């Protein structure tokens, strides 16, 4: 991914929070085989953890070569930006967005580690399922786990990009942020929320 320095995210905490929040990723392997998967960030081991359905042949490529790097793409908020929102004219339409690319080597998980990964996934999205075992009993989970293949991908290279109009004038940034906030589009609301979260592209003067 091409990342101009003015749009590069470098703070590890910002990057990790992004991955944890926008965790439904696209995994692309060297053969260009791809899969859409929820991935868990393992901060302590600096890797991503996920699983395939066993009948998805993609997992075999990860198993066959532990040296080649795979690409993981996380997409965040994005939206159309109208030139009418800028204070300074002339201007052209653009698209603002945030995305993170991870490159790393893959390793297939053991059955026990795969079960632990599934528990971690449920704990993140619906922790009560780990208590209410009448819905997902341990035996039923163990039976179904035979139909999946767990894996992890090392985080070797990170390219993190937040193209949020932060390079434009304060007046232009304020105009865009205000228009996004007034928009009825859910994408625009998510985008401006993220801009405020990072304090980028919203027209706040640099106080340093």
Return mean pLDDT, the chain.
94
Handedness of CA 28, 31, 35, 39 (dihedral sign): negative
SS3 34: strand
Domain-embedded: residue 189 = yes
The arithmetic mean of pLDDT across residues 26-41, rounded, is: 98
Q: For residue 208, what pLDDT band results from cuts at 50, 70 and 90?
A: very low
Domain that holds residue 93: 5-110+149-198
Closest CA to 193 of 76, 112, 93, 83: 76
Q: State what percent of residues in the chain have pLDDT above 70.
A: 99
Domain-embedded: residue 61 = yes
Domain-embedded: residue 12 = yes
How do residues 99-146 score in pLDDT, each as one tens digit? Answer: 999 999 999 999 999 989 988 988 899 888 877 777 777 777 777 788
pLDDT at 164: 98
CATH at residue 194 = 2.30.110.10
Would you say the pTM of this structure is higher than 0.85? yes
Q: For residue 20, what pLDDT band results from cuts at 50, 70 and 90?
A: very high
Q: For residue 206, what pLDDT band results from cuts at 50, 70 and 90?
A: low
Domain-embedded: residue 19 = yes
Domain-embedded: residue 97 = yes
Count structural domains, the chain: 1
Domain-embedded: residue 123 = no
Q: For residue 72, what pLDDT band results from cuts at 50, 70 and 90?
A: very high
Domain-embedded: residue 137 = no
Domain-embedded: residue 172 = yes
Where is 105: in which H helix or E strand?
strand 94-108
């Amino acid at each position: 991914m091409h990342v101009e320095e003015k749009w590069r995210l470098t703070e590890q905490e910002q990057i990790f929070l992004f991955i944890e929040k926008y965790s439904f990723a696209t995994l692309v392997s060297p053969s260009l085989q791809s899969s859409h998967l929820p991935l868990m960030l393992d901060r302590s081991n600096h890797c991503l953890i996920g699983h395939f359905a066993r009948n998805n042949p993609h997992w075999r490529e990860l198993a066959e070569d532990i040296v080649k790097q795979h690409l993981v793409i996380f997409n965040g908020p994005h939206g159309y930006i109208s030139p009418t929102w800028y204070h300074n004219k002339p201007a052209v339409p653009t698209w603002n967005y945030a995305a993170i690319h991870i490159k790393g080597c893959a390793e297939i998980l053991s059955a026990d580690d795969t079960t632990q990964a599934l528990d971690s996934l449920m704990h993140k999205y619906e922790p009560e399922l780990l208590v209410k075992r009448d819905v997902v009993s341990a035996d039923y989970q163990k039976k179904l786990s035979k139909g999946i293949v767990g894996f992890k991908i090392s985080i070797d290279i990170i390219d993190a990009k937040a193209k949020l109009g932060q390079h434009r004038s304060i007046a232009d940034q304020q105009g865009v942020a205000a228009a996004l906030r007034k928009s009825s589009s859910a994408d625009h609301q998510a985008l401006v929320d993220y801009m405020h979260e990072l304090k980028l592209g919203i027209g706040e003067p640099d106080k340093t």
